[in-house]
């Protein structure tokens, strides 16, 4: 209860923070126009004036330089008179060569901070009466009717010559109509380390497999695969920490990464999780961090090959190793392999047509402590899961896809649905009116021992994207 309250207070503070940030942002243009008011603003204003003067001076110097270049060129070849009208090329050789239409650089429109906002809204229904149990993802549709899956605000840009940074703050509306704010990611990435190295630090999605680090609006389906929900919890594997990546000096793309992150919290459900929660029926207890091995360690290797002008594969292998919260010296190890293949013809239009095949296979082994009250012994459980999906962009802006999903494991703990088998088959159809919006229709057929009966669900999803959103990786 106390924890809950603290969470609520934190959320409140966070909301207040966002509100003041928005107010600040809104005021910025006003501030530039308003007369100098209180003292701190006056100094700031002076500084801005100073910067402006400085900038104008430098601009004037550059313009003078440009003019000098221009006149040098004009001496070699008579320039066109400046005119907004299209200038015909002089036809006779005597007129000399035409000068380029040199005026100003066109590299405007750049901001210090790129802001974007992405909305994912779903509508639909299911034969299941417990949709929150059926859908394992925190961004999945959760109820009959409408769901605000994810409103993602992204703040991104270059910090200085050494770092870029990105902050993703997400908003959701839960089944009770309550707005939930979450600091999903906030990290800096190095830009200029030598020897192919790159460092990332902050709060971020763990770079395990292919789907886990992707934001929901980049997924090819309305919901996340069952295995991601079961192994990494509803909101994906993410935490505070650091990641070092090395681009190997090979002829093909070959990258080795190692991530070290905190191993506790609600986004680490297979690890130290949150006291009071359970893992395979065992209650999670407080566990101290005594050594590095009590943190989450995630090594990953990924390589890519162009099979031809039109085909590329990307393969990866990851492991997530860390303590779990069922008792002292209890550990969870998750191993995964992932593959992605894409075909796109050399005369693709708007990026279409294409075929994309993507799959991941993961295996989890968790040693868990005994839970005497529940008469559960100390044990090691293993389970595995995976998905395979094919997407065909059959014509410009239209995609059909099919995904097959499976999770399941040891039957040693039949009372715990965390190990029971589940299958899901999901055909989907997506239409992108532009690259800034999409409509997706998806049907899910759910089957397995973890469910009382087969379930059928149909979801319609709308995405809209505002602002300058950073492009995605391959």
- With helix as H, strand as E and coil as C, how does the chain read? CHHHHHHHHHHHHHHHHHHHHHHHHHHHHHHHHCCCCCHHHHHHHHHHHHHHHHHHHHHHHHHHHHHHHHHHHHHHCCCCCCCCCCCCCCCCHHHCCCCCCCCCCCCCCCCCCEEEEEEEEEEEEECCCCHHHHCCCCCCCCCCEEEEEEEEEEEEEECCCCEEEEEEEEEEECCCCCEEEEEEEEEEEECCCCCCEEEEEEEEECCCCCCCCCCHHHCCCCCCCHHHHHHHCCCCCEEEEEEEEEECCCCCEEEEEEEEECCECCCCCCCCECECEEECCEECCCCCCCCHHHCEEEEEEEEEEECCCCEEEEEEEEEEEEECCCCCCCEEEEEEEEEEEEECCCCCECCECEEEEEEEEEEEEEEECCEHHHCECCEEEEEEEEEEEEEEEEECCEEEEEEEEEEEECCCCCCCCCCCCEEEEEEEEEEEEECCEEEEEEEEEEECCCCCCCEEEEEEEEEEEEECCCCCCC
Task: Restricting to residues 103-132, name those near other proteins by CB under 8 A.
Answer: 103-109
56 in contact with other proteins (CB under 8 A): no
- The single residue among 396, 400, 425, 439 that binds other proteins, judged by CB under 8 A, is 396
Nearer to other proteins, 47 or 63 (CB): 63
60 in contact with other proteins (CB under 8 A): no
470 in contact with other proteins (CB under 8 A): yes
143 in contact with other proteins (CB under 8 A): no
Nearer to other proteins, 144 or 397 (CB): 397
Task: Quote the least distance from Cβ 161 to other proteins, whole Å.
Answer: 8
Nearer to other proteins, 108 or 372 (CB): 108
CA distance 95 to 235: 69
Are residues 191 and 164 in contact, defined by beta-carbon separation less than 8 angstroms? yes
User: What pairs with residue 256 in β-bridges?
Assistant: 246, 301
Q: Which of 195, 132, 138, 179 shows the shortest CA–CA distance to 455?
A: 132
Nearer to other proteins, 127 or 198 (CB): 198
400 in contact with other proteins (CB under 8 A): no
308 in contact with other proteins (CB under 8 A): no
37 in contact with other proteins (CB under 8 A): no
Task: Quote the least distance from Cβ 359 to other proteins, whole Å.
Answer: 18
Nearer to other proteins, 291 or 346 (CB): 346
- The single residue among 29, 93, 177, 372 that binds other proteins, judged by CB under 8 A, is 93
Nearer to other proteins, 127 or 312 (CB): 312
- The single residue among 197, 218, 240, 378 that binds other proteins, judged by CB under 8 A, is 197
Nearer to other proteins, 155 or 253 (CB): 253
Are residues 125 and 144 in contact, defined by beta-carbon separation less than 8 angstroms? yes
Task: Restricting to residues 344-383, name those near other proteins by CB under 8 A.
Answer: 344, 346-351
Task: Quote the least distance from Cβ 181 to other proteins, whole Å.
Answer: 27
Number of residues that bind other proteins (CB under 8 A): 63
- The single residue among 100, 276, 377, 415 that binds other proteins, judged by CB under 8 A, is 100
89 in contact with other proteins (CB under 8 A): yes
Task: Quote the least distance from Cβ 362 to other proteins, whole Å.
Answer: 22
196 in contact with other proteins (CB under 8 A): yes
Candidates 22-30, 46-54, 217-225, 305-313 — which segment interacts with other proteins by CB under 8 A? 305-313
Nearer to other proteins, 86 or 177 (CB): 86
Candidates 142-150, 307-315, 374-382, 449-457 — which segment interacts with other proteins by CB under 8 A? 307-315
102 in contact with other proteins (CB under 8 A): yes
- List interacting residues with other proteins (CB under 8 A): 66, 86, 88-91, 93, 97-109, 158, 161, 164, 189-198, 247, 249-253, 304-306, 309, 312, 314, 342, 344, 346-351, 396-397, 434-436, 470-474
């Amino acid at each position: 209860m106390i924890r809950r309250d603290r969470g609520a207070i934190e959320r409140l503070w966070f909301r207040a923070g966002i509100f003041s940030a928005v107010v600040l942002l809104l005021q910025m243009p006003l501030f530039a126009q308003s007369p100098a008011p209180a003292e701190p603003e006056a100094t700031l204003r002076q500084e801005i004036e100073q910067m402006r003067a400085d900038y104008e001076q430098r601009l004037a110097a550059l313009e003078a330089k440009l003019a000098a270049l221009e006149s040098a060129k004009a001496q070699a070849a008579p320039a066109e008179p400046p005119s907004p009208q299209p200038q015909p090329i002089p036809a006779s050789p005597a007129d000399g060569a035409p000068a380029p239409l040199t005026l100003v650089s066109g590299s405007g429109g750049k901001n210090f901070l790129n802001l974007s906002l992405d909305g994912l809204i779903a509508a639909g229904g299911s034969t299941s009466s417990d949709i929150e149990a059926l859908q394992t993802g925190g961004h999945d549709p959760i109820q009959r009717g409408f769901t605000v899956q994810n409103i993602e605000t992204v703040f991104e840009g270059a910090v200085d010559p050494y770092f870029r940074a990105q902050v993703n703050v997400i908003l959701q509306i839960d089944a009770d109509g309550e707005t939930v704010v979450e600091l999903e990611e906030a990290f800096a990435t190095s830009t200029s380390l030598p020897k192919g190295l790159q460092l990332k630090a902050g709060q971020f999605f763990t770079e395990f497999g292919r789907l886990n680090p992707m934001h929901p609006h980049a997924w090819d389906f309305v919901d996340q695969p069952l295995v991601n929900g079961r192994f990494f919890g509803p909101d994906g594997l993410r935490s505070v920490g650091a990641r070092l990546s090395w681009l190997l000096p090979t002829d093909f793309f070959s990258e080795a990464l190692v991530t070290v992150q905190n191993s506790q919290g609600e986004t680490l459900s297979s690890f130290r999780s949150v006291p009071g929660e359970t893992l395979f029926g065992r209650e999670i207890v407080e566990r101290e961090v005594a050594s590095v091995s009590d943190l989450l360690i995630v090594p990953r290797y990924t390589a890519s090959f162009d099979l031809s002008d039109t085909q590329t594969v990307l393969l990866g292998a990851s492991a997530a190793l860390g303590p779990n919260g069922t008792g002292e010296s209890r550990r969870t190890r998750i191993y995964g392999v992932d593959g992605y293949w894409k075909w796109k013809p050399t005369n693709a239009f708007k990026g279409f047509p294409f075929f994309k095949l993507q799959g991941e296979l993961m295996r989890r082994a968790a040693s868990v402590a005994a839970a005497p009250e529940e008469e559960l012994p100390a044990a090691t459980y293993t389970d595995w899961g995976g998905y395979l999906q094919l997407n065909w962009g059959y014509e410009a802006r239209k995609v059909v896809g099919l995904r097959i999903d499976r999770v399941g494991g040891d039957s040693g703990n039949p009372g715990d649905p965390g190990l029971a088998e589940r299958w899901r088959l999901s055909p989907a159809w997506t239409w992108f009116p532009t690259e800034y919006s999409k409509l997706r229709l998806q049907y899910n057929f759910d089957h397995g021992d973890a469910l009382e009966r087969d379930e059928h669900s149909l979801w319609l999803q709308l995405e809209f994207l505002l602002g300058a959103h950073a492009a995605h990786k391959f």
